[in-house]
Amino acid sequence: MTRYVFVTGGVVSSLGKGLAAAALGALLQARGYRVRLRKLDPYLNVDPGTMSPHEHGEVFVTDDGAETDLDLGHYERFTGVAARRTDSISAGRIYQNVLDKERQGAYLGKTIQVIPHVTDEIKSFLSIGGDEVDFMLCEIGGTVGDIEGLPFYEAIRQFANEQPRGRCVFMHLTLLPWLAASGELKTKPTQHSVKELRAIGLRPDVLVCRSEVPIPEREREKIALFCDVRPDSVIPAYDLASIYEAPLAYHAAGLDRAILDAFKIDLAPEPDLSRWRDVMDRLSNPDGEVRIAVVGKYMQLEDAYKSLKEALTHGGLQHRVKVKAEWLDAEVFEREGAAAHLSGFDAVLVPGGFGERGTEGKVAAARFARERKIPYLGICLGMQMAVVEAARNLAGVEKAGSEEFESGKGPDRFEHVIYHMKEWSQGNELVTRERDGAKGGTLRLGAYPANLEEGSLIAGIYGKTRISERHRHRYEVDAAYRPRLEAAGMKFSGMSPDGSLPETVEIPDHPWFVGVQFHPELKSRPFAPHPLFASFVKAALEQSRLV
């Protein structure tokens, strides 16, 4: 029997609903329960795939090729449960489904309305896989009171009423602002937020209250009284030194016990939190530090590289070292050169991205790392720019570049070492794409296998020669350049099973130089660091000892 926890937010956005949901999932899992987490986003984009990283942060990609909200990355990192396409939905997708059905005549000529047609579509989504787990945690994006969120709140109200009694619990996150001038912690915004929820038919069972200062017992009792919840269901949530402290902090605050009590589960096993204590011990008591330069192009918003940042931390956990990642704008290198900014770092990482801006800076970073024998990891575009650099400066392809950076008007500026892939196999289907076609959902997305060359550096890192990793890109390295590049010193050590698509490159005459077309950061966990990041941090640690 699956039980549902609906997670909503009030007062302000960015309170940490995704982190709270992920931590709760980890706590229930630590008690032996099977969990799955879901995200319902009220925005009208079909998915985040076409959103700017400055607007929405990174796009998290699932094995089955869905472009989703970054909160699904939190879910995976905290529970280890691989997210699926059915774990993320937006209002845009819901309305698209409803309108497609209307065009097909599925509604038999009825007038299409938010209630029941849109809400029924949302409820149908909620029901998917409902018999697979013990707890389904569903986070509603946005803030209560937002007009675009109303169909989702109405849908979960209906859904809860249609389930047997005791199957659904509502958890609401709010803010308790501290007014320094008067020295007071204010509960009124939380009261109004709960009032707003109750006005649309939802009654929270558990309140999670974010605060910068300790919440006095009398304030918790006041919140419980005015918001009609039990006092032990008012859970304080304070700022933490690390997000990985959240399961321990929420357990200490009684969150998992409050949720189980709301479900009237009295005999739940105690949680085994040893893995989280180990993670926090490694974070809090490192044996050393490494400095890694991340040369990217979306530096205005930290969440643009969220999974990457966490994967570097995980690599440090493996070796009990603190990873001090410093985020550098690739465009600066185009004006001032790489050496002025990269000297003194123990390793260089160039992540993915789209568009030409900053790419010559990424090429410069790859050259600096190659020539100075500094560990280098290039991911997606970072691999492509490393190949462009090697083609120009090792293989003599002076105009090497990418088709992505051509306007399509007039003669090409570059020799296309990187080209637009027009077709590829996805499972048993042939996928075709036009260069100037629709942007959303048209990349090579999701998990694809790769064969690694026996005896290569990357095969040694993985400990096997067959891997599967998640992709998100539209352009590929042209395998036709492989003979020239390998003769010049860059090995194509990983290829697609049919041998047509380069998946990994490395430079054997270098301490640690690896480029990968996929995104390994998406599969890294604090308790199971991705082998590439663990090896990369180890190489940086060895480099630091040479200086």
CATH of the domain at 307: 3.40.50.880
Work out how many domains the chain is built from and give that number: 2
Characterize the bridge pairing of strands 475-477 and 415-420.
antiparallel
252 with 381, same domain? Answer: no
Cα distance between residue 208 and residue 523, in whole Å: 29
Secondary structure string (H, E, C) spanning 488-533:
HCCEEEEECCCCCCEEEEECCCCCCEEEECCCHHHHCECCECCHHH
Q: Which residue range forms the structural domain that includes residue 452?
A: 286-546
Report the range of poorest mean pLDDT among 91-95, 253-257, 329-333, 508-512: 329-333
489 with 424, same domain? Answer: yes
CA angle, 100 as apex, 147 and 113 as ends, to 5°?
40
Most confident of 302-306, 341-345, 429-433, 525-529: 525-529
Instruction: Indicate the burial class of 429 (C-beta count within 10 angstroms; 0-12, 13-18, 19 or more).
Output: exposed
- How far is residue 328 from each of residues 297, 342, 358, 490, measured CA to CA in Å? 8, 9, 11, 26
Contact 498, 451 (CB under 8 A): no
Cα distance between residue 454 and residue 259, in whole Å: 50
As beta bridge partners, residue 414 has: none
- DSSP H or E segment with residue 9: strand 3-9
The residues annotated as belonging to the active site are 380, 519, 521
476 with 513, same domain? Answer: yes
pTM (global) more than 0.75: yes
pLDDT band at 339 (very low <50, low <70, confident <90, very high): confident
- pLDDT at residue 211 in the model: 94
**Pick from 510, 485, 537, 492: which is nearest to 374 by CA?**
510
Report the range of poorest mean pLDDT among 148-157, 295-304, 530-539: 295-304
pLDDT band at 352 (very low <50, low <70, confident <90, very high): confident
468 with 484, same domain? Answer: yes
- pLDDT at residue 303 in the model: 77
Give me the half-sphere count of Cα atoms (radius 13 Å) on the Cβ side of residue 396.
4
Last residue of a domain, one of 229, 248, 279: 279
- pLDDT at residue 447 in the model: 95
Last residue of a domain, one of 259, 279, 299: 279
11 with 143, same domain? Answer: yes
371 with 514, same domain? Answer: yes
What average pLDDT is seen over the chain? 91
Q: Which two tokens stand for residue 537?
A: 């941090």
122 with 217, same domain? Answer: yes
First-to-last C-alpha distance (Å) of the chain:
59
Q: Which two tokens stand for residue 413?
A: 């500026």
Other C-beta atoms within 10 Å of 254: how many?
16
- The CATH code of the domain that includes 133 is 3.40.50.300
- What angle do helix axes 217-227 and 188-199 make, rounded to 10 degrees? 20
Residue type, 51: M
- pLDDT at residue 337 in the model: 76
Kindly tell me if the per-residue pLDDT of 356 is higher than 90: no
Last residue of a domain, one of 246, 279, 312: 279
As beta bridge partners, residue 296 has: 329
- Once rounded to an integer, what is the mean pLDDT over residues 222-235? 95
